[in-house]
DNA sequence: GCCAACGTTGGC
DNA sequence: GCCAACGTTGGC
């Protein structure tokens, strides 16, 4: 099982929205590096749900991958902001996964607070110039973050959901 | 293949 | 709104 971080602007789609709908296709990723990470995701992987472009930015909850990568439908929709006319239908350029809400962090973890945790010195999110909307997180980093956010460690057990 | 121009992200 | 960082585009 692998661990990831997904960025979303809460004004557009926040963790509360994921809780409300339960499950959502993670579409609209149009960066090759982020896309490649999406394609590595497997059902059961856990994701930190990060709120970007808001104040304060930070981690709001945990989601789970419930469907592995498949073609992002929006790339073929001319009306979509994410339309890509150059994407070959026989070999779609962009992928998405489906994610489901697992749990909100009892304590929202702000970016500033994440920066104070010594165990997160290598967290990709905190590196200079980072702009990726999908990135890997180590198991250790994931555990530190969910614990700091007030979730019980047992919640990581596969049979707890 | 180089690289300048431009666009986007996202914290502040 | 500013601006640093970085990806993409396109002329050559």
For residue A153, the 8-state DSSP code is: G
Identify nearest nucleotide to residue A131 by CA to C1′ distance. B9
The total of structural domains in chain A comes to: 1
A126 touches strand B (CB under 7 A): no
Amino acid A33 CA to nucleotide C7 C1' distance, rounded Å = 10
Amino acid A1 CA to nucleotide C1 C1' distance, rounded Å = 42
Amino acid A156 CA to nucleotide C8 C1' distance, rounded Å = 39
| Predicted confidence pLDDT, tens digits, chain A (161 residues) | 999 999 999 999 999 999 999 999 999 999 999 999 999 999 999 999 999 999 999 999 999 999 999 999 999 988 888 988 888 888 899 999 999 999 999 999 999 999 999 999 999 999 988 899 999 999 999 999 999 999 987 766 654 44
Domain that holds residue A8: 3-160
Q: Give the domain CATH number at A10.
A: 3.10.590.10
Question: At a CB cut-off of 8 Å and minimum separation 6, what does A69 contact?
Answer: A38, A39, A41, A95, A96, A97
Alpha-carbon distance values, A30 to A36, A95, A126, A140, A153 (Å) = 11, 9, 21, 28, 34
A33 touches strand B (CB under 7 A): no
Amino acid A55 CA to nucleotide B12 C1' distance, rounded Å = 10
pTM of the model: 0.91
Q: Nearest residue to C5 (CA, C1')?
A: A129
């Amino acid at each position: 099982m692998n661990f990831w971080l997904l960025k979303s602007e809460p004004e557009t789609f926040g963790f509360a929205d994921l809780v409300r709908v339960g499950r959502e296709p993670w579409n609209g990723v149009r960066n090759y590096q982020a896309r490649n990470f999406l394609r590595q995701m497997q059902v059961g992987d856990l994701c930190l749900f990060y709120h970007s472009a808001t104040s304060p930015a930070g981690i709001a909850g945990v989601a789970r991958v419930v469907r592995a990568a498949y073609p992002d439908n929006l790339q073929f929709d001319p009306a979509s902001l994410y339309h890509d006319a150059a994407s070959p239908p026989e070999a779609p350029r962009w992928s998405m996964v489906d994610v489901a809400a697992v749990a909100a962090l009892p304590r929202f973890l702000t970016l500033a607070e994440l920066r104070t945790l010594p165990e997160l010195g290598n967290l990709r999110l905190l590196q200079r110039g980072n702009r990726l909307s999908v990135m890997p997180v180590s198991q250790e980093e994931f555990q530190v973050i969910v614990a700091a956010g007030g979730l019980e460690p047992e919640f990581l057990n596969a049979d707890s959901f």
